[in-house]
Amino acid sequence: MNNKNKFEWDENKRQSNIDKHGIDFEDAIQIFEDRMRVEAPSSQKGEERYITFGVVNEVVLAVVYTNRNNVKRIISARVAHENERRIYYFQE
User: For residues 49 and 66, what is the distance between their CA atoms, to the nearest angstrom?
Assistant: 5
Q: Are 28 and 74 in contact (CB under 8 A)?
A: yes
Looking at this protein, which amino acid is placed at residue 34? Answer: D
Domain of 73 in residue numbering reads as 4-90
CA dihedral sign of residues 83, 74, 29, 57: negative
CATH value at residue 47: 3.10.450.530
Residue 22 has pLDDT above 50, yes or no: yes
Q: CB count, 10 Å around CB of 12?
A: 8
Instruction: Give the pLDDT confidence score for residue 5 in this predicted structure.
Output: 57
**Domain total in the chain:** 1
* pTM strictly above 0.75: yes
**pLDDT tens, 46-62?**
889 999 999 999 999 99
